[in-house]
Amino acid sequence: MLKKKVCLKIDVDTHDGMRDGVPALLEDLEAFDARATFCLSFGPDNAGKAIFRLFKDPGFLKKMLSTGAPKMYGLRTVLSGTLLPARPIASAFPVICKEIVKNGHEAIVHAWDHRKWQDHLKHMKKSEVRQEFEKSFQAFMDVFSAKPRAVAAPGWQATKVSLAVQDELNLHYASDLREPFPCFLRIGQRRFSTLQIPTTGPCIEELLTVGIRNEDEISSHLLSALKKAKQPVLAVHAEVEGGVFRPFFRRFMKILSQEFAGFTTLEEIASQTLSAKADIPVLEFVEVRLPGRAGKVSSAKTGP
């Protein structure tokens, strides 16, 4: 059996993750001659506002305690946007942004206000959703002097409204889902035209939340899910793999280099999928609960 290529989808959610985590990851990726897709949040780092989820989602407290959030993300980030001012994320570091592309990686839009999207998307009107896209797209163009060709939803949160706005943006693809494989989405009779490239398998924070803390066990769970996936896409976070889990990530990169045929980007997956002769499946949009995550995430239904 031919080995598949694996994609590293690197989300950048915080100011410190952009400042410290991205340069660390760029260094580590270069060491393995690996390319990746960086999903950039451009607006305010309101990570501290996650605390308000405790009032409506008790599972979020378990996640914060299990992952050791203050140690993993840093106290400054945990208080950002509440007791301390919200600092800009990618917009504050145009030089680092340009280094991403200069080093051969792909850069796409993750969000303007990551926290707002993840916590409040379901209550946002179409005009509000469009405004979030417009602000992040303008910030992207200010840095890269080019229009973004793809987006990846914060927290894997999508709605009928956000999917409709995406279609209006004429994107190459989006990466809003957890599982199962590249597809188009439908909700009832509405079929959406933007190709979806899902994330496959868990991320480190989810494994920590369910009590998996031994690094060999973490590695085993991540690798098992990726090897089972039709198109393996690993969720990486600049704040985690570019921070306290950086030594683990370097060891895991060595394993990935041995187990897969190489590294690819979401853009390459999208181009290959769209150019393939086989029909791309159209799957029903669903929301699912995953171990280690608070609340539901967007996915696609494969069965009846």
Give the pLDDT score at 61: 47
**The amino acid at 244:** V
Tally the C-alpha atoms within 13 A of residue 200's C-alpha that lie toward its C-beta.
20
Residue with tokens 């370097």: 250
Give the pLDDT score at 77: 74
**What's this model's pTM, rounded to 2 decimal places?**
0.93
What is the C-alpha separation between 175 and 27, in angstroms, rounded? 25
Helix (H, G, I), strand (E, B) or coil at 275: helix
> In this structure, are residues 7 and 182 in contact, taking their beta carbons and an 8 Å threshold?
no
CA distances from 243 to 34, 60, 240 (A): 19, 22, 5
Give the pLDDT score at 198: 98
Give the pLDDT score at 50: 66
Q: What is the pLDDT along the chain (304 residues), one digit of tens a residue?
A: 568 999 999 999 999 999 999 999 999 999 999 999 999 999 999 887 765 454 455 555 455 445 555 566 777 777 677 778 889 999 999 999 999 999 999 999 999 999 999 999 999 999 999 999 999 999 999 999 999 999 999 999 999 999 999 999 999 999 999 999 999 999 999 999 999 999 999 999 999 999 999 999 999 999 999 999 999 999 999 999 999 999 999 999 999 999 999 999 999 999 999 998 779 999 999 999 999 998 899 999 998 7
- Which residues, in sequence order, are CB contacts of 142 under 8 Å at separation 6+? 91, 94
> In this structure, are residues 198 and 182 in contact, taking their beta carbons and an 8 Å threshold?
yes
> In this structure, are residues 15 and 87 in contact, taking their beta carbons and an 8 Å threshold?
yes
- Parse the chain into domains and list their residue ranges: 5-301
Give the pLDDT score at 76: 74
Residues 93-96: contacts with CB under 8 Å, at least 24 apart: 93/18, 93/19, 93/22, 94/142, 94/143, 96/18, 96/19, 96/22, 96/23
The CATH code of the domain at 5-301 is 3.20.20.370
